[in-house]
Every structure is written in C-alpha cells, then in structure tokens.
Amino acid sequence: MFQRLTLRPKQRAQCKTTILQTSCSKVFAVNALENRRLLCLVRVASICWLATLLNPLQACPLCNALASTISDDIREARVVVLATAMAKKDANDRDPLPYTQFQIAETLKLVQLESTHAISLPRTQYAYANEPIPRHQACLLMSFSSDPIQWSPPLPVTKSAADYLRGLVELPAEGRSRLEYFLPFLGSTDSLIADDAYNEFAKRPMNEIGQIRTQLDREVLIAILRDPATKPRLRSLAWMLLSLCGLPSDTRLFEEVICRRDLSTESIEIDLAASMACFIVLGGETSLRRIERDFLHDRSVSISNAHAAISAIRVVGQEFDCQTKYRLSRVLQIALARPEVADFVIPDLARWEDWTAFDILEQLFFDADEDTSFVRIPIINYMRLCPHPNASAVFTQMEKVDPNSARRAALMSGRGRQ
C-alpha cells in the first residue's frame, strides 16, 4: 500500500507551505502506461516485505495515513496557540512577504528554554499566510522554535475544531482512551477534524484498535459503508472496524460492493482489499473460497484486483485468528500460476514459512523471461531462507544464472546466506 510523501513540520515551516489541510482522496482512472508504472512500484513494495520478515505491522494495514497527525505536530512544536486574525500586513521593500496580524486567544503549549531567560509571548503576533485570511478568523499557530518564534503558516479552524484541539492537548500518547476520543470524530463534517481522527486510527495497529471493540457501533459502520458519499479512505477504515464487531450476516455488504464493480478493469478501488479482508473474517471458510475462486483462480480478473485479494489475505493472516496461516498460504500459492502477480505473494510464503512452494518457485525462476524476470528477486530471497535440503544448491545456481537479481535480492534482504 502506498502512503503520500509528506514534509515534516519543521520542513513545512521553512518552506512556508502547509499540508495540514488534506484534500479528499481521489479516484484514479489509470491508463495502461500509468498502470504499468503503478505495478512496478507495487512490485518493489512487495519485494521489500522480505526485509521486514520479523517485524509486525505497526499501523492499520489497509488504511493509509494522509499526513502526520495534528498531535504529532503539537508534540514537536515549541509553541502552540489559538489566535484570531486581525489585519493584513502587505509586502514591502523591507519585508517582501505578506503577513497577517494575529491576537493570541489561548496558549495550548509553550516550552521554555532551559538555563536562559523566560520566553515572553506578546499577545500580538505576525505570521505568513499562504492565502488571505478573513478578519476575526480563528487559526492554529505553531512554532517549532522558541527563541526566536517563527510561526508556520496559520491553519484556519472552526469553533468545533478549536474544541477538538483543546482535547488533543490532554490526551495520553497511546492506549484505549486515546482512540475512544477520536472515534466519534470520524464522521465529523469538519474535514480538519475528520481527517485528523482518521489519521490517528490509520497509524494504530489492529491489536490496539481492537481494544475499543465494544465501543464500535455496527449499525453506524454499515451506514458509512452504504453511503455513496463516504470517502474511500474512510470506507477502508470502516471495513476494518466492521471486521472487529460485525456479524456473519454482514458479508452481504461485500456482495453489494462486488455487484457495483467490473473486476476485469484496472481501475483502483481503494477499499476493495479492506472489504475482502472483512468478508473473510466475518464469513470464514466460505468467504475465503469465494475470494480464492473469483479473484485468484479466475485469470480474467485484473492485476490490481488480484493484488487486492492478496493484500486482504495477507492482512487476515497477520491481524486476525480466523484462518490458519497454512490455509491462507495455500490460497496464495494459486497466484504463482500467474507470473504477473506471483512476486506479490512470494514474500508472504517466506514470512509464513510455507516451504511447500519450493519446487514451483524453482521452476518459475528458470522459466522466467525478459518480461517476467522481476519474479527472480523474491524467489532468490525465498531460497535464501528456505530449509529445504536442496535450497543451498539451488540458491547458488540462481546466483550464477542471474547475478544482477542476486545482488538486488541481497541488498533487499540485508543479509547473506548463512
């Protein structure tokens, strides 16, 4: 899964740009060239799984955080205030940037420097604004240095957002009570609040999210999933939450989703993998067989949709106890018959120590041509870890046949064969 590249707070202040206000997720229509580029990136990401075989997932696996959270920024900031815009100071020869005059209404955080004079914070402050700010508009101002204070671009906030920000300051850094605070804000009509609450969930591992299982409202989640206006990213999170509190009968929602989609196209449905994971968790073996039949055995299914199925199975294996890893890895082995997606599953087979694919992968390596040579890197790393008695000899032979792939595999694994 891909995450948007974002600047850290200090970089944003230096660049005088802001990414705190995040636009809605977009639905991408990918043409053939763009799709090939996407698949190349996905392959690199898939191969890199081998570099972290022993590391558990640290965030909601099918939820992509849009940016750093406001709490992250507050934690790094030295000074945080709520202020009101009063007047605009135009650019001139001495000061080429337009500034806005603010009156501080409330100080949320002020870190004093050690062994120096106390910081004085005058009520009147000036901050560079990317866009004109209306008079009397409330804003969040943050400075990542205390002396001198250099404000990052102001973030306009509503009264509801100001109340939300006050609550952030009092929250513990982690734990159940933190997520309980953000839960009711996921459906906020204020995009600043809703996006930040979503980011807080997207950064949390499923075992931590599971601590608020009893606070989840199943009916609310179903309503979110059925609402066509729901943002795709929130829909993905809703599927994952429903996996924790849903009923077997809720698998009908997946049927509703599938009926609206053309599985042979390469368009990207952001929440498809999450919906499949929920479908498997709630429906058990019957649902898993459905995914196996319709998304992995069926060669007419697009690569992106097949990859969504693989991602869903991976998440079920790592985050839920409804299926054995052996059963799931046997399903993933079906993808090995399709070279264009085979490299997506090989790292998972190694992670779950499914060495029964040894013969298939050996053949796949030596059958690979110029168009399918990308499968060789994950296969080499699979052989690097495999305890099969012939693995060492096969590994050595692979190094001789394709030394370039062997070098790339070694870089990605971070270790040589013992």
Instruction: Convert the pLDDT of each residue in 27-44 to its tens digit.
Output: 222 333 334 444 444 444
Over range 127-147, report the average pLDDT.
90
- Domain membership of residue 203 (yes or no) is no
The pTM score is: 0.78
For the chain, how many structural domains are there in total?
Answer: 1
Q: How confident is the model at residue 145 (pLDDT cuts 50, 70, 90)?
A: confident
Which residue has 């230096």 as its token pair? 14
User: CA–CA separation, 96 vs 135, rounded Å?
Assistant: 21
Instruction: Convert the pLDDT of each residue in 45-65 to its tens digit.
Output: 444 444 443 344 445 666 777
- Domain membership of residue 147 (yes or no) is yes
Task: Return the CATH number at 113.
Answer: 2.40.50.120
Helix/strand/coil for 80: strand
Question: What pLDDT is attached to residue 35?
Answer: 43
Contact status, residue 354 vs residue 366, Cβ threshold 8 Å: no
Over range 196-207, report the average pLDDT.
92
- Domain membership of residue 99 (yes or no) is yes
- Domain membership of residue 144 (yes or no) is yes
Q: Determine the angle formed by the axes of helices 325-332 and 272-291, rounding to 10 degrees.
A: 90
Distances (CA, A) of 144 to 131, 165, 355: 21, 17, 51
β-pairing verdict for 149-151 and 138-146: antiparallel
- Domain membership of residue 208 (yes or no) is no
Provide CB contacts within 8 A for 248, sequence distance 6+: 282, 283, 284
- Domain membership of residue 162 (yes or no) is yes
Instruction: Convert the pLDDT of each residue in 361-392 to its tens digit.
Output: 999 999 999 899 999 999 999 999 999 999 99
Residue 126 phi/psi, 5° resolution? -125, 135
Lowest mean pLDDT, pick from 72-81, 83-92, 285-294: 83-92
Structure tokens given for 196 = 């930040």
Contact status, residue 271 vs residue 234, Cβ threshold 8 Å: no
Of 383, 338, 324, 327, the residue nearest 359 (C-alpha): 383
Residue 322 phi/psi, 5° resolution? -80, -15
Lowest mean pLDDT, pick from 149-163, 168-182, 252-266: 252-266
Judged against a pLDDT cut of 60, whether residue 402 lies above it is answered with: yes
- Domain membership of residue 26 (yes or no) is no
Domain of residue 143, residue span: 71-167
- Domain membership of residue 151 (yes or no) is yes
